A and B are shown apart, each in its own frame.
Chain A
């Protein structure tokens, strides 16, 4: 069964360092998302991406964050200069159609980011 894969599963970094989280969405999907969950808190929407551009982003997704689809398969989230409060589980998701309409988002297992 096709699945969304994320790497790394866990990354530890020093405050101020750049981090890139990678995702391989399901191959025929057109919509891509990043969500995050700070420990004990809600799963929060960060950004959605369609047709090689950001379609929506949340207030959390400030200038520190960027997304890219550098080739036909990968979808990356970059945090330019990490802060302690960026420590969270980051989930990538993809869907065939706009996820908000159907709700059928397919999620990866998540990448845990720890900022020291």
Chain B
């Protein structure tokens, strides 16, 4: 069946460092791909999405490109801030529902 795999956390970075969180997927067909973020004490919220191959989703300085050839959707940010500390979830669409990865915790230190 369809599945999503994310890199293990926690990831700890200093402020202004470059961030990459890896996400790969297994799917039949060409699902839409998403990154959700969960800030402390809050629910999951959509960060960005891409609906077809080579699309780039972007929001709040974060980017991810839908790579069909490598079945990946890695999340990147050029310069992280303390306020980016959260848990990040990669997900794909599957017939009316989302399938999530296990989440990657990011901690940004000043």
Residues of A near any B CB (own CB < 8 A): 3-4, 33, 35, 37, 40-45, 48, 55-56, 91, 93, 98-110
Assembled-state Cα–Cα distance A4/B45 (Å): 11
User: Which of the four size classes fits the interface of chain B?
Assistant: 20 to 34
- Interface set, chain B 71-110, CB cutoff 8 A to A: 89, 91, 93-103
Question: Would you call B32 and A103 a contact (CB within 8 A)?
Answer: yes
The DSSP consensus for interface residues of chain A is mixed
Question: Would you call A4 and B43 a contact (CB within 8 A)?
Answer: yes
* Given A42-B101, A42-B102: A100 and B93 interface contact (C-beta under 8 Å): yes
Q: How far is the CB of A77 from chain B (nearest CB, A)?
A: 15
In this assembly, does B44 line the interface, its C-beta being within 8 Å of a C-beta of chain A?
Answer: yes
Q: How far is the CB of A61 from chain B (nearest CB, A)?
A: 12
Assembled-state Cα–Cα distance A37/B46 (Å): 17
Question: Would you call A56 and B97 a contact (CB within 8 A)?
Answer: yes
Residue from the set A100, A102, A104 with the largest chain B CB neighbour count within 10 Å:
A100
Can you list the 8 inter-chain pairs with the closest CB atoms, starting with the nearest? A107-B43, A43-B100, A100-B96, A107-B44, A100-B93, A103-B34, A42-B102, A109-B43
